[in-house]
A and B are shown apart, each in its own frame.
Chain A
Amino acid sequence: MLCQDCKKREPQVHFTQIINNEKTALSLCKECAAARGFHSPLDNMPFPLADILSGLTANLPMQKQIAQEESISCDGCGLTFEDFTRQGRFGCGECYKAFRNRLEMIMRKIHGSSIHRGKTPLFENSSEETTETFSIKEEERLKEELQKAISSEDFERAAELRDKLKSLQESLTVEN
């Protein structure tokens, strides 16, 4: 069946109207439905991921740089950065490490941040590493990362690291 208005595209919107017991049914494609003024309130929902990833390579200033970035691939599963931007999915956890530098920007576009502030895994099985010693180690790590970010003038990352460090230190004070 084709759209009843343009008779070209597949119908996607089905509309039934009953006036004085007379039923009219319409099957229209999205474009013709919109032309008649029917629309679903969800039509205009953004799908940012595809836009972010497809816009990514387009925004790079130099062709050379694109070639360089595309040649990065993950040691764990072999996925290239180009594959990743096309499919929008990682192959394995190692991909995050392999693409780390590019990912910070992507994550900021998707989430407005590139640093996790939520829960950390529990280490209940390990006798050496309790939650507390983990937090102390994490505090040290964050301080080092923060120094690195400041010296490389990555201030966006530095700000995110500082926020995370602050909330970690607050949670440590509460626990003690």
Chain B
Amino acid sequence: MFDEMAKSPAAWLSSAGKESLVVLSTRVRLARNIAGCNFPESADIETKKRVISYVDSVVTRSKNMSDGIYIKATDIDELDKDFLVERHLISPVFLNGELDKALFISEDEQASIMVNEEDHLRIQALEAGLNPRGAFEIAMQYENEISKYLEYNYDPDFGYLTSCPTNAGTGMRTSVLIHLPGLVLTREIDKIISHITHSGLIVRGFYGEGSDVLGNLFQISNQTTLGITEDEILKQIERVTNEIIEKETSARKRLIEETSEIIEDKIWRAYGILKNARVLTSEEVMNLLSAVRLGHATKMLDFLDVSLINDILLLSQPAHLQKYYGSEMDNNRRDFVRAQMVRDKLRDQ
């Protein structure tokens, strides 16, 4: 499965997005449950199967959804699971443990729907760059489409009812994946994170919940989902992200003014290693790419294209690498092949 997908860049990492020098992508996720069924974590197998069969019939009847991929979790092998997590189409916990789950991915790969994750439906949409409204509109299309066939669990006071009280109300989480090397290097990041959390938003590492920071990539998302409208959430995310972009941009400018030789050396060294190394771990690539991305944004490496940097970022992850080369490989072999892939991608630059 997904062999074709592995050979093409993910839509959400294309360079066409707004603010792409700082923001990689935007995601909107809507949590919905189907009325009359226990939430997945407390439902028996029959209930979960019933939920899946409801979604089966929606996908069959809906014109909007018939072109996408719809697959049962039992039909996804281990490598493909990792591949989907790396591509941000599913959450890391989605395919753990029991498999009464299903997954829908839209044809253009911008939307995906997890069935029987923490909630019956987790509808998500991804956009390149900073575009909360665009991602929201895509997610809402699918939300509306499904609501023509299925009744959502809804309460006039508590809104859309979710398994966890932190998602109730709009059931909506908007996240922005943002690259902040300037704020990390100038050591302003702690202050900024504390500012973000005081604005009612959450900060996480690259893979979302519980993950650590890799490659200076952070994920910022709204914490409040109840008592606030969808529009207010989008505006809040947009406003705070723009503030951070401004701070990051001025931190980068200051770094270059004050320590130009050191920064220039760091960037060119990173580029030199990527272009020549024979063995590279995925973590090392993530961190080197952070320096190279900074080099691109500050015009030091102006011959590089953001989409190429994103392409390398995606392909150097373990499952992508194996899918790209069409064979399973152990750790050592992967590090060798990864270095080869990176050299190939950078050869003509």
Give chain A's interface residues, CB within 8 Å of chain B: 40-42, 44-46, 49, 76-77, 79, 88-93, 96-97, 100, 103, 106-107, 110-122, 124-125, 138, 141, 160, 167
Contacts and interface: CB of A to CB of B under 8 A. Distances in A.
Nearest to A122: B147
B227 A92 contact: no
A111 B158 contact: no
Interface of B: 33, 35, 37-39, 41-42, 118, 144, 147-149, 151-166, 168-170, 172, 184, 189-190, 193-194, 197, 200, 202-205, 212-213, 224-230
B227 A111 contact: yes
A46 B197 contact: yes
Q: Which 7 pairs show the lowest CB-CB distances between chains A and B?
A: A113-B227, A116-B159, A91-B42, A118-B170, A93-B153, A111-B226, A92-B38
Given A91-B39, A111-B168, A117-B169, 18 more contacts: A40-B213, A41-B203, A42-B193, A44-B194, A76-B38, A89-B163, A93-B161, A96-B158, A97-B155, A107-B158, A110-B226, A111-B226, A116-B168, A118-B170, A119-B230, A121-B147, A121-B152, A167-B229
A81 B205 CA distance: 33
Nearest to B225: A111
20 contacts: A40-B213, A88-B165, A90-B163, A91-B42, A103-B158, A107-B158, A111-B169, A111-B224, A113-B227, A116-B157, A116-B160, A116-B226, A117-B169, A117-B229, A118-B172, A119-B170, A121-B151, A121-B152, A122-B144, A122-B147
Q: Provide the main secondary structure of the chain A interface.
A: loop
A50 to B, nearest CB: 11
A92 B159 contact: no
Nearest to A88: B164
A138 B39 contact: no
B161 A115 contact: no
A118 B165 contact: no
B221 to A, nearest CB: 12
B202 A77 contact: no
A41 B213 contact: yes
Given A116-B157, A116-B226, A103 B189 contact: no
Given A111-B224, A116-B158, A45 B163 contact: no
B38 A110 contact: no
A144 B33 CA distance: 28
Nearest to A100: B157
A45 B152 CA distance: 32
Contacts of B33: 93
Given A41-B193, A111-B228, A116 B156 contact: yes
Contacts of A111: 168-169, 224-228
Contact of B230 (A49, A91, A92, A118): A118
Contacts of B39: 89-93
Contacts of A89: 39, 41-42, 118, 163-164
Nearest to B183: A41
Given A42-B204, A89-B164, A124-B148, A115 B38 contact: no
A77 B33 CA distance: 15
Nearest to A84: B165
A112 B224 CA distance: 8
B38 A96 contact: no
